Each structure stands twice: as C-alpha cells, then as structure tokens.
Amino acid sequence: MPTTVRLCQSLADLITIEELRKTARPKVVLTWAPHFKPLPQAVANSFAEWVNRTDYEFVITHPEGYDLAPEFAGNAHVTHNQLEAFEGADFIYTKNWSSYNHYGQVLTQDPAWKITAEKMALTNNGKFMHCLPVRRNLKVDDAVLDSPNSVVVQQAGNREWSAQAVLKKILVDI
C-alpha cells in the first residue's frame, strides 16, 4: 500500500478517535482478527505509528507470532490476551496482518480472535473501528458491525478530510 494511502487511512482513524473520545486519554486497542490469507502489516503499522505519537493508552493484542515490527509497536502495551486488552477500552480497531518474522505465512486462523458482542461488552462502551472492507462474520460478527457503537462509516468518511489535509500540506510546501 503506498505511503500516502496509509497516511490518509491512519489520519482518518485519528480524526475519528478525536471526534468521538470522551476522555482526555482514551484506551485504544489494535487487535488482530482472523482472515483466510495473510494481509500486509501496512495499515496496522501506520495506525500504531500514529497512535504512539498521541497520549492515548495504547494496547496491541494478537496471537503468538503476529508481532508488528518493533519500530511500529513502539511503546504500546502488547498482549496475547485479547479479553484482557478489551477491558475498559474506548476504541477497538480490528485488522488482520501477517507475521513480521514469518511474513506471508498463516500461523493461525483461530476463530476465537473474531470480534463479538460479548467481547465488546468488556469495553467502556467502546467504539468498533475497521478500515474496510471487512469480511462479516469472519473478522467481526454482524451484531458488532451493525451496532450503534460501530463507527466504520464515520471512519471511512473521514478519509475525505484526511486526504484534503494531506493535499493542503503538499500544496503549502511546494
């Protein structure tokens, strides 16, 4: 994924969090989700890189072997216990990514990592985020994706604002 596209997506993600946060320091969780093929780490890396520049409480959760590159994971608390990570979270950002050390290999497709209403109940009335498109009932249950706490449409709409901000910066710097 080209750098500008990643930049626009992660900037849209942060705009969404800023629009919806209810505390000065929200708890933001980036969680791995199952997929039938390994996807690039680009979105997860970019999101982690940007969130690490904020004062948010940042947690990354994934199965063993799916670590992000250390320079992107940064100061995030990393755990392999998804339920623990969700406790008290304000935002749950779900994405599949491949293993950093075993790139291109599927190490697990464990359906227990799918996002469910029961898991979202552990959060602080948390908002569900995903960069779209999403595979319904593989990564996330319909009940979560279609709930009032799903902000995927607002998040997608913020891509327009993030692209405009990037374009303005480019034009100003010419």
What is the full DSSP assignment across 150-169? Answer: B-HHHHHHHHHHHHHHHHHH
Residue scoring higher pLDDT (64 or 174): 64
Structure confidence at residue 65 (pLDDT)? 94
Mark out the alpha helices in the chain (DSSP H runs): 3-20, 42-51, 70-73, 82-86, 117-120, 142-145, 152-172
Structure confidence at residue 68 (pLDDT)? 93
Residue scoring higher pLDDT (59 or 101): 59
pLDDT band at residue 3 using 50, 70 and 90 as cut-offs: low
Q: For the residues 88-92, what does the mean pLDDT come to? A: 98
Structure confidence at residue 112 (pLDDT)? 97
Angle of helix 3-20 relative to helix 42-51, nearest 10 degrees, comes to 50
Structure confidence at residue 103 (pLDDT)? 84
For residue 140, give both structure tokens.
């996330």
pLDDT band at residue 54 using 50, 70 and 90 as cut-offs: very high
Q: For the residues 143-151, what does the mean pLDDT come to? A: 98
Closest CA to 90 of 151, 10, 159, 133: 151
Q: For the residues 146-174, what does the mean pLDDT come to? A: 94
- Domain boundaries, given as residue ranges, for the chain: 3-172
Does the domain spanning 3-172 belong to CATH 3.40.50.1370? yes
Q: The dihedral of CA 93, 102, 4, 37: what is its sign?
A: negative
pLDDT band at residue 4 using 50, 70 and 90 as cut-offs: low
Q: Does 2 score more than 60 pLDDT?
A: no
Q: For the residues 41-61, what does the mean pLDDT come to? A: 96
- Collapsed DSSP state (helix, strand, coil) of residue 83: helix
Structure confidence at residue 100 (pLDDT)? 86
Q: Does 106 score more than 90 pLDDT?
A: no
pLDDT band at residue 1 using 50, 70 and 90 as cut-offs: very low
Q: For the residues 59-67, what does the mean pLDDT come to? A: 96
Q: The dihedral of CA 146, 151, 154, 160: what is its sign?
A: negative
Residue 144 exposed, middle or buried by CB count within 10 Å (0-12, 13-18, 19+)? buried
The pTM (predicted TM-score) of the whole model is 0.93
Structure confidence at residue 116 (pLDDT)? 98
